[in-house]
A and B are shown apart, each in its own frame.
Chain A
Amino acid sequence: MIEINNINKAFTNGITALKNFSLTVQRKEVVVIIGPSGSGKSTLLKCLNGLEEIDEGSIVIDGIPLDHQKKNRLEIRKEVGMVFQSFNLFPHMTVMENINLAQMVVRKKSAAQAQETTMELLTKVDIASKAGSYPAQLSGGQQQRVAIARALAMMPKVMLFDEATSALDPEMIGEVLDVMKNLAKEGMTMIVVTHEMGFAKEAGDRIVFMADGEIVEQGTSEKFFNNPEKERTKQFLSQIF
């Protein structure tokens, strides 16, 4: 589903965020990426939908290469949904309008069709009663669930989560993780960057541990957490548990 081949990414300030990075994700697989701050996790996700340009290597998603053809890039953006740490809802639009927007503008659906999908998705993330509210009137957890619904409205084949719960108060983390777990159960292909080890153990098919733009170690969640091989991994795990 996702083939990342030897990509390199350096910023103009000289920082190398990704070094010869390769990763293959199967259809319906949930890959959880963990790693210390600055290890390149966000950069990796941004490269996957073209928000950041890679310097070398190749990325192919569902058979479509992420190259310089506009058509391919747009196709990939439609197929890859992204959820951000800071929600990034559009503050001048209601919840309904937030979710309708891309359906109408990009998928060219009619307002009625878009609304129908939107209401289904809002019901799914358990927030249908807030369709007419503005983002500022919602709690962080509610906002993030709306953001997930907004990404899902494009009917993506892959979902990327970049620390989706890091900006939330502890009591709201659960409701967002539940939505993500359900999505995983339904068979969505997901790459999840998170510090929530509970989620990683429960929903992750594979754990990838990154440091300094490289994969240090990866494995099934059971093996990764119980029998880590590398010293660096053990050190990291001992820090967070």
Chain B
Amino acid sequence: MKKKLIKINVLDVLIILAVLAMGSWFVFRINTALDYQWNWSIIPQYMFRFDAEHGWVPNMLMQGFFMTIKLSIWSTILAVILGTTMGLCKISGSLYKRLISNSYVEIIRNVPPLVLVFIFYFFIGDQIMTVLGVGDTVRSFSDTTKFWINIFFAPAPQFPEFLSAVITLGLYEGAYITEIIRSGIESIEKGQWEASYALGLSKSQQMIHVVLPQAVQRILPPLAGQFISIIKDSAIVSVISIQELTFQGMELMAATFLTFEIWITITALYFFLTFFCSLAAGWIENRYRESGYLA
């Protein structure tokens, strides 16, 4: 790849100066008008703390950070499964399937996510989880199982809440992924369907061998973007006491009153996560393109 020369013109300089001025003014206001006592030294100990038994272990902020990652990954997996199924239903010839997928997408997209969170939390969390006895089941597991549940999901006592949060986010984001999958598949030229039909492939074989592999390449970039949205949207489940990054931030703020330090740290952590994902997505996309057939 050719390195582009970076040219800086007058406008760029003005913008940089404006940003710096805004930042300084912000700090100045906090210091003078609010008479705010900065105390950054206390933040690191909320990220990692020293435990006599285990050595360095993540503390509240990092626990929340990891919870956000786990929540995002599981929600994404669910959302992709759901989105793929519904996306396929959307383009299906069956009116019944189209009705189901259209209703799903329309309902999800026309209700505020916060409202969805509450509905799902009280419905799935309170009713379904209890009826299914998820909490009791998890409680009855051996300690090793609980250990692994903690690693991959959430601490065992919070598992039912975690699960309903994942389902909520998965259902919510699945509606957007449905559209991504649908438009990806519909972007494949009609001739590809026709040629594979003429060769005798069944509808599902046409899909699996010919259409989907090509659609994936077009689906991947928006899907990566959606994953980043999921990371950000996951903050919303803090309202149902899932101990992810935002929730931990609020708890910590209530305890220490270090409003700015905490929110700046949280912002940095979210940014770190999403920025890293953007880079990874860009890299994957490039790899895909280079290895691919778009010679």
What is the interface of chain A, defined by CB distance below 8 A to chain B?
Answer: 46, 49-51, 74, 77-78, 80-82, 84, 86, 88-93, 101-102, 105-106, 134-137, 147, 150-151, 154
Contacts and interface: CB of A to CB of B under 8 A. Distances in A.
Contacts of A135: 293
Contacts of A102: 196, 199-201
A11 to B, nearest CB: 15
A92 B201 contact: no
Contacts of A80: 198
Given A134-B293, A134-B295, A88 B194 contact: yes
A150 B200 CA distance: 12
A191 to B, nearest CB: 13
A51 B202 CA distance: 12
Contacts of A78: 200
B194 to A, nearest CB: 6
B293 to A, nearest CB: 4
A105 B208 CA distance: 11
Interface SS of chain B: helix, strand, loop or mixed?
A: helix
A77 B200 contact: yes
Interface of B: 189, 191-192, 194-202, 205, 209-210, 213-214, 217, 292-295
A92 B194 contact: no
A102 B192 CA distance: 13
A78 B201 CA distance: 9
Contacts of A105: 201, 205, 209
A135 B293 CA distance: 8
Nearest to B216: A92
Contact of B295 (A84, A106, A136, A147): A136
24 contacts: A49-B197, A50-B197, A51-B194, A51-B197, A51-B198, A77-B197, A77-B198, A77-B200, A80-B198, A82-B194, A88-B192, A90-B195, A90-B196, A90-B214, A91-B293, A92-B213, A92-B292, A101-B209, A102-B199, A102-B201, A105-B209, A106-B200, A147-B195, A151-B199
Contacts of A151: 198-199
Contacts of A82: 194-195, 198
Contact of A136 (B202, B210, B293): B293
A137 B295 contact: yes
Contacts of B189: 88
A84 B195 contact: yes
Q: Which of A46, A51, A89, A91 has the most CB of B within 10 A?
A: A91
B293 A92 contact: yes
A74 B200 contact: yes
Contacts of B295: 134, 136-137
Contacts of B209: 90, 101, 105
Contacts of A88: 189, 191-192, 194-195
Given A106-B201, A136-B293, A84 B194 contact: yes
B206 to A, nearest CB: 10
Nearest to A46: B194
Contacts of A90: 192, 195-196, 209-210, 214
A135 B192 CA distance: 13
Contacts of A154: 199-200
Q: Which of B200, B202, B210, B295 has the most CB of A within 10 A?
A: B200
Given A90-B192, A105-B209, A136 B199 contact: no
The 10 closest A-B pairs by CB, nearest first: A88-B195, A102-B199, A88-B191, A82-B198, A106-B200, A134-B293, A77-B200, A136-B295, A78-B200, A137-B295
A234 to B, nearest CB: 35
Contacts of B202: 74
